[in-house]
């Protein structure tokens, strides 16, 4: 009855912890006593939690003749995986499960009921375990403790990642590819990359997947159903986890924290990638090539290169993609939607990565560095082009003359000399140009936008090229030099005019 009346008669004498169940108090007391009653019968390992001992025992596993359980309740739960009957059925859809708990969780999708409420804030949830996990944000409790050092975490998944630092031992081995996993659930997910069977099939097209989550997301393309809605904006999605992830844009919540520095992240994959900077470890290895990575998500994406799998399909044309971000970018061609907006100017983008690149124009950030000369670039493609100045490579060749260049943009500009084509049109005044960059600069003359500002005076301008030319007034630099006579100038155009004196050309 305590579940209904909220009574918690069992209280810890050392702290303020209270609970409705005696066994939970007994387990809690081990935090104060240091007692570790669950002992391994093959080595000196012991743990306060039975679940930790189960995971540890996998290290001694070796050959498995069949599933073995620690007690009868474990075996009973396991046997339900083999029984064909699924006794708990949803009366509103086709969902069924061998476990009542799974049905209860499923029903909240229909009812929207969230009976578990946080007493500290407005958070509500459908499950007790999610409320328990949420409460650690208020209490600071970190129940998942490392048995080899003082590390502790609010999340079990963080503890698993941490345990890799103590030797990187991974207890579950894939016999097909040699992949090793931290625990059995990781291995189970990995094994689906080998199995030819994809048990979750779409009944409206040929799509199939090894993961139910992927099928649920795919079905939304047919039904258009997006039941999860953001209360702050118009965002809707077919998956709860995507809504949770989206909400962090509004709250700026960064629940994933590095225990070695001050870094925190909104997404676990970002924390995993960050941790690799400290450890240098790349535990996820492809079984078909030498590729290694710090994150499980990157390995999953990489494996699609071998499988040729492209699960993301456009519902308006035949386009398919291996990655969701590519499909999102493609869909903008149909919808014209550009949800990512710059907070400092009117720029909008269909893809977040494009906005990140754009923001570097405002921040001046140039994360890509040439190891040979120290050149810094805002884009990886710019660094790749720069590297050709060291190698002398000029892969872009004109098919009408001998001209070749290291950059595709330069070839496009050169081709306009042959074709006379000026495809870029200003809709406000009829101005045309052969170059997109020129059109962008021209448009700022209509808007009055001058985003490029001199940090030594009040000068501002519409284009980076103009700002660079202005900067020479402060530095005295004349970067354009004639190799025939040593003449130097601030502007490339001036050098072009000067060179005609040597060539005798009038144009």
Query: pLDDT at position 61, please?
Result: 57
The long-range contacts involving 269-277, CB below 8 angstroms and separated by at least 24 positions, are 269/295, 269/297, 272/161, 272/296, 275/161
CATH superfamily of 1-36: Classic Zinc Finger (3.30.160.60)
Q: Counting every residue, how long is the chain?
A: 507
Q: Which two tokens stand for residue 193?
A: 């990359």
DSSP 8-state code for residue 172: E
DSSP secondary structure string for all residues of 321-387: ESSHHHHHHHHHHHH----EE-SSSS-EESSHHHHHHHHHHHH----EE-TTT--EESSHHHHHHHH
Q: What is the rounded distance in angstroms from the CA atom of residue 151 to the CA atom of residue 85? A: 43
pTM, two decimals, is 0.30
Distance CA 177, CA 194 (A): 9
pLDDT of residue 169: 45
> Are the beta carbons of 334 and 316 closer than 8 angstroms?
yes
Strand partners of residue 489: 480
CA 504 remoteness from chain centre: 58
501 phi/psi in degrees, rounded to 5: -65, -30
Looking at residue 436, its pLDDT comes to 75
DSSP letters for 297-333:
HHHHHHHHHHHT---EE-SSSS-EESSHHHHHHHHHH
CA-wise closest residue to 141 among 163, 126, 120: 120
CA 338/CA 356 separation, integer angstroms: 14
Q: Which residues are CB-neighbours of 498 under 8 A, at least 6 positions away?
A: 482, 487, 489
Residue 487 tokens, joined: 């003449």
> Can you give the pLDDT at residue 76?
64
Q: Which two tokens stand for residue 412?
A: 């496009």
Number of H helices, E strands in the chain: 19, 34
CA of 463: how far to CAs of 407, 444, 447, 459, in Å? 20, 9, 13, 12
What CA–CA distance (Å, rounded) separates 297 from 264?
Answer: 19
**SS3 for 448?**
coil
* Phi/psi at 5 (5° precision): -95, -5
String of DSSP letters for 68-102: --SSHHHHHHHHTTT-S---EE-SSSS-EES-HHH
From residue 231, how far is each of 122, 220, 340 by CA, in Å? 14, 20, 18
Q: CA separation (Å) from 281 to 50, 164, 207? A: 29, 9, 35
Residue of 240, 239, 252, 260 lying closest to 161 (CA atoms): 260
Each residue's pLDDT tens digit in the chain (507 positions)? 444 455 777 888 877 778 777 777 877 787 778 788 888 888 887 877 777 777 677 666 544 445 555 555 566 666 655 554 557 788 877 777 777 777 777 777 777 777 888 888 888 877 777 788 788 778 777 777 777 777 777 777 677 767 766 654 444 445 555 555 555 555 565 565 555 456 678 888 888 777 777 787 777 778 877 888 888 788 888 777 778 778 777 777 777 777 777 778 877 777 777 777 676 677 778 887 777 777 777 787 777 777 777 778 888 888 888 777 778 778 877 877 787 888 888 888 877 778 888 888 888 788 777 777 878 888 877 888 888 888 888 888 888 888 888 878 778 778 888 888 887 888 888 888 877 778 887 888 888 888 888 888 888 888 877 888 888 888 888 878 888 888 888 887 788 888 878 776 554
What span, in angstroms and rounded, lies between the C-alpha atoms of 442 and 432?
Answer: 10
What is the domain partition of the chain in residue ranges?
A: 1-36, 478-507
Structural contact between residues 108 and 125, judged by C-beta atoms closer than 8 angstroms: no
Secondary structure of residue 103 in the 3-state scheme: helix
């Amino acid at each position: 009855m305590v579940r209904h009346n909220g009574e918690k008669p069992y209280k810890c004498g050392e702290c303020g912890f209270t609970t409705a169940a005696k066994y939970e108090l007994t387990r809690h007391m081990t935090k104060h006593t240091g007692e570790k009653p669950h002992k391994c019968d093959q080595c000196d390992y012991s743990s306060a939690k039975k679940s930790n001992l189960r995971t540890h025992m996998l290290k001694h596993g070796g050959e498995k003749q069949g599933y073995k359980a620690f007690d009868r309740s474990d075996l009973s739960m396991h046997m339900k995986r083999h029984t064909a009957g699924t006794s708990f059925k949803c009366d509103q859809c086709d969902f069924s499960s061998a476990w009542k708990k799974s049905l209860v969780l499923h029903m909240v999708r229909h009812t929207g009921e969230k009976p578990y409420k946080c007493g500290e804030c407005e958070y509500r949830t459908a499950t007790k375990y999610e409320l328990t996990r949420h409460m650690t944000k208020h209490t600071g409790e970190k129940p998942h403790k490392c048995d080899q050092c003082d590390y502790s975490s609010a999340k079990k998944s963080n503890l698993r990642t941490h345990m890799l630092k103590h030797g990187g031992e991974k207890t579950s081995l894939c016999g097909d590819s040699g992949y090793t996993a931290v625990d059995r659930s990781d291995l189970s997910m990995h094994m689906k990359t080998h199995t030819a069977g994809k048990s979750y099939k779409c009944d409206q097209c040929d799509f199939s997947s090894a993961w139910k989550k992927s099928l649920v997301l795919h079905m939304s393309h047919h039904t258009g159903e997006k039941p999860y809605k953001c209360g702050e904006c118009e965002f809707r999605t077919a998956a709860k986890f995507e809504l949770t992830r989206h909400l962090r844009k509004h709250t700026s919540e960064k629940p994933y924290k590095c225990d070695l520095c001050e870094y925190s992240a909104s997404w676990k994959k970002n924390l995993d990638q960050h941790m690799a900077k400290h450890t240098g470890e790349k535990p996820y290895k492809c079984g078909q090539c030498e590729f290694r990575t710090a994150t499980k998500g990157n390995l999953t994406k990489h494996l699609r290169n071998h499988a040729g799998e492209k699960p993301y399909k456009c519902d308006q044309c035949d386009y398919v993609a291996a990655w969701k971000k590519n499909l999102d970018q493609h869909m903008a061609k149909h919808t014209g939607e550009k949800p990512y907006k710059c907070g400092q100017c009117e720029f909008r983008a269909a893809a977040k990565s494009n906005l990140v690149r754009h923001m570097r124009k405002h921040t001046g950030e140039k994360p890509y560095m040439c190891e040979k000369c120290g050149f810094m670039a805002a884009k990886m493609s710019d660094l790749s082009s720069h590297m050709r100045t060291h190698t002398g490579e000029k892969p872009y060749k004109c098919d009408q003359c001998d001209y070749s260049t290291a950059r595709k943009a330069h070839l496009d500009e050169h081709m306009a000399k042959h074709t006379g084509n000026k495809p870029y049109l200003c809709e406000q005044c009829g101005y045309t140009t052969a170059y997109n960059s020129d059109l962008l600069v021209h448009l700022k003359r209509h808007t009055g936008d001058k985003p490029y500002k001199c940090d030594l005076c009040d000068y501002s301008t519409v284009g980076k090229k103009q700002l660079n030319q202005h900067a020479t007034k402060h530095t005295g630099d004349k970067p354009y030099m004639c190799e025939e006579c040593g003449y130097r100038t601030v502007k490339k155009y001036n050098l072009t005019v000067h060179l005609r004196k040597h060539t005798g050309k009038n144009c």
